[in-house]
């Protein structure tokens, strides 16, 4: 029990910077939602259920275009396909006995950032850690969207600009320490930076959504890395510490 | 025909939900295949790296502020600063750069 409580508290703690960053991004998302004709409640609902920045921008574009529902389904599938990969990766961090209810809830809460911080944890993943992060980050995202619809441009541009890099700061905090101790991961990270930069500059990829680019690059680079540098058993298995097996059932 | 906004939201939500939960609920236990294991081991680092760069440069109003935030963040992470500290540092770098920019440009 105590361990779950600790995990939950840690989740909230790590969720605070995410929530702050989310609030600013969601606020600007709300401005787009308003253009698409959503009221604050609809904006809140959309953000609470979807909580995906690129996905929701795409969603509001579809609403604005008054496109068929099937187009909505397709657009969301493409823009959010990276969550499928993240969900696969997270499945390997779970204790195999984890209940379906936990799998559904943790899955529902996957965002780039929450995925990022939960991958940064060592050992088997305790769902309560994710719940802690979700408990603070998702309401912030949803309220931010609703407020953006209500209040529009009250946040000064300089504040939005500064807050916009908070999320990337968190990503750096996850990938750099591992790159420091593991040279292969370090090389993979550098290769990813370069490839991503190249793709952003090549006109051929302009029509592709950002999420599609991310998914494509991830499959290619992680695939190459896996073929060239297979991970030894002990590297990707959890540390030998006592797993939190009994607690989260 | 006009469409219902709630139906749009629910369609989007249903697709997002399925994408997010299907692998987690269907893949039970450890995958044995060494290639897939290695692939999934690298996925998070590649995804996060690809999402960070060059987006960190295009997110702020001034690209140079983003570059400096990236460099500061990497150095701080290398030195072992915690996640919240790094996020705050990156924000501060962008804020200061953009506040100072009018005096230099």
The ipTM is 0.85
- Per-residue model confidence as pLDDT tens digits over A34-92: 888 899 999 999 999 999 877 887 788 888 888 889 888 887 887 788 898 889 999 98
Helix, strand, or coil (residue A246): coil
Q: Is position A75 within any domain?
A: yes
**In chain A, which residue's Cα lies nearest the Cα of B63?**
A161
Establish whether the linkage from the previous residue to B54 is cis, with ω within 30° of 0: yes
Q: Is position A39 within any domain?
A: yes
Domain tally, chain A: 1
Distance of CA B85 to the CA centre of its chain: 16
Closest CA of chain A from B98, distance in Å: 7
Q: Is position A103 within any domain?
A: yes
List, in order, residues 6 or more apart from A144 with CB less than 8 Å away: A22, A23, A24, A25, A26, A27, A29, A30, A47
Q: Is position A249 within any domain?
A: no
Domain that holds residue A125: 2-236
Closest CA of chain B from A152, distance in Å: 19
Report DSSP state, residue A238: P
- Per-residue model confidence as pLDDT tens digits over A159-194: 878 877 877 887 898 899 999 999 999 999 999 999
A140 and A44 Cβ atoms separated by less than 8 Å = no
Q: Is position A11 within any domain?
A: yes
- Per-residue model confidence as pLDDT tens digits over B10-45: 999 999 999 999 999 998 888 888 998 898 889 888
Q: Is position A241 within any domain?
A: no
**In chain B, which residue's Cα lies nearest the Cα of A168?**
B52
Q: Is position A125 within any domain?
A: yes
Closest CA of chain A from B86, distance in Å: 6
- What are the chain B neighbours of A100 within 8 Å (beta carbons)? 25
The CA distance from B83 to B73, in Å, is 10
Which pair of structure tokens corresponds to residue A117?
Answer: 């911080």
Check whether A248 has a pLDDT greater than 80.
Answer: no
The CA distance from A191 to A216, in Å, is 14
Residue A240 confidence (pLDDT): 36
Q: A33: how many CB neighbours lie within 10 A of its CB?
A: 28
- Per-residue model confidence as pLDDT tens digits over A121-173: 888 899 999 999 999 999 999 999 999 888 866 778 888 788 778 778 878 98
- What are the chain A neighbours of B51 within 8 Å (beta carbons)? 112, 168, 171, 214
Q: Is position A188 within any domain?
A: yes
Helix (H) or strand (E) holding A20: helix A2-35
The CA distance from B98 to B69, in Å, is 11
């Amino acid at each position: 029990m105590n361990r779950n409580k600790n995990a939950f508290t840690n989740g909230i703690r790590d969720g605070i910077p995410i929530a702050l960053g989310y609030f600013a991004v969601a606020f600007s998302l709300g401005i787009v939602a308003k253009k698409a004709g959503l009221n604050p409640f609809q904006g809140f609902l959309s953000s609470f259920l979807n909580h995906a920045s690129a996905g929701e921008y795409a969603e509001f574009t579809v609403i604005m275009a008054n496109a068929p529902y099937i187009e909505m389904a397709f657009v969301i599938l493409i823009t959010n396909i990276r969550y499928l990969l993240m969900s696969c990766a997270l499945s390997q961090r779970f204790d195999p006995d984890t209940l379906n209810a936990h799998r559904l809830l943790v899955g529902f809460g996957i965002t780039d950032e929450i995925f990022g911080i939960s991958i940064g944890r060592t050992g088997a993943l305790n769902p309560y850690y994710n719940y802690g992060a979700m408990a603070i980050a998702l309401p912030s995202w949803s309220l931010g969207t609703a407020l953006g619809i209500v209040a529009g441009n009250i946040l000064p541009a300089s504040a939005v600009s500064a807050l916009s890099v908070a999320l990337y700061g968190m990503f750096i905090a996850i990938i750099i320490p591992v790159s420091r101790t593991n040279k292969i991961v370090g090389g993979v990270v550098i290769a990813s930076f370069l490839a991503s930069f190249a793709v952003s500059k090549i006109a051929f990829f302009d029509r592709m959504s950002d999420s599609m680019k991310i998914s494509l690059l991830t499959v290619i680079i992680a695939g190459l890395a896996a073929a060239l540098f297979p991970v030894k058993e002990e590297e990707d298995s959890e540390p030998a510490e006592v797993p939190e097996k009994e607690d989260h059932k | 025909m006009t469409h219902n906004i709630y139906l749009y939201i629910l369609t989007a939500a249903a697709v997002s939900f399925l994408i997010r939960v299907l692998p987690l609920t269907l893949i039970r236990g450890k995958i044995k295949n060494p290639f897939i294991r290695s692939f999934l081991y690298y996925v998070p680092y590649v995804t996060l790296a690809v999402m960070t760069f060059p987006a960190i440069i295009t997110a702020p109003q001034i690209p140079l502020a983003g570059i400096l935030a990236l460099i500061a963040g990497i150095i701080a992470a290398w030195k072992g600063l915690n996640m919240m500290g790094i996020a705050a540092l990156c924000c501060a770098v962008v804020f200061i750069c953009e506040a100072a920019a009018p005096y230099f440009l």
